[in-house]
Amino acid sequence: MPISDAESVVMDVLWRSRAPMSAEEVVAALSVSSDWQEATIKTLLNRLLTKRAITAARDGKRYLYSARLKREDYVHSESKGLIDRLFGGRVAPLVAHFSEAGKLSKKDLAELKRLIEELDDDA
C-alpha cells in the first residue's frame, strides 16, 4: 500500500507510541514537529484508515488509533522500491553512490564490512 510522506509522519507517531492513541494525542505529538492543523492530521488518519494501514477502536465518544502496518514491513517496501527504481534492484550501486557522494562515514564503512562478513559466514 502506498503511504505518502505526510502519512508516514503520522505513522511514525503511532509506531513510536506502540499504544493506541486518540486523534487529539496524535495532534499533540505532531504539534512539536509540524505546523499542521488538526483537520489535516485527522484527514491523514482517515486516509490511513482507508488504506488499512491503521485501525480505529471506539473508546466512548472518541476513537483510538493503532498502527496495523508494521514499521519493518513499511521500511522493507520503501527501500525495495527505492533500490528497484534508482539502482535496478541492486544494492552495490546504491552503496557506490553514497561512497562517491562522500556520505559514508568510517562508522558506516565498519558496519558495512561487518554485515558483509556476516553474509559471507552464512553463505
pLDDT tens digits along 46-61: 999 999 999 999 999 9
123: confidence class by pLDDT, cuts 50, 70, 90: low
Residue 42 sits in the same domain as residue 81 = no
Residue 9 sits in the same domain as residue 63 = yes
> How far apart are the C-alpha atoms of 49 and 66, rounded to whole Å?
10
Residue 34 sits in the same domain as residue 82 = no
Residue 78 sits in the same domain as residue 60 = no
Average predicted confidence (pLDDT) for the chain: 92
Residue 26, domain extent = 5-67
Q: Is the pLDDT of residue 18 over 90?
A: no
Residue 13 sits in the same domain as residue 35 = yes
Q: What is the 3-state secondary structure (H, E, C) of 92-112?
A: HHHHHHHHHCCCCCHHHHHHH
For residue 61, what is the domain's CATH number? Answer: 1.10.10.10
pLDDT tens digits along 73-82: 999 999 999 9
Residue 53 sits in the same domain as residue 91 = no
The residue with cell 499504544 is 19
Q: Is the pLDDT of residue 98 over 90?
A: no
SS3 of residue 50 by DSSP: helix
Domain boundary among 34, 51, 67: 67
For residue 90, what is the domain's CATH number? Answer: 1.10.4040
Burial letters for 95-121: b for 16+ Cβ neighbours within 10 Å, e otherwise? Answer: eeeeeeeeebeeeeeeeeeeeeeeeee
How many independent structural domains does the chain possess?
Answer: 2
Give the mean pLDDT of 8-36: 95
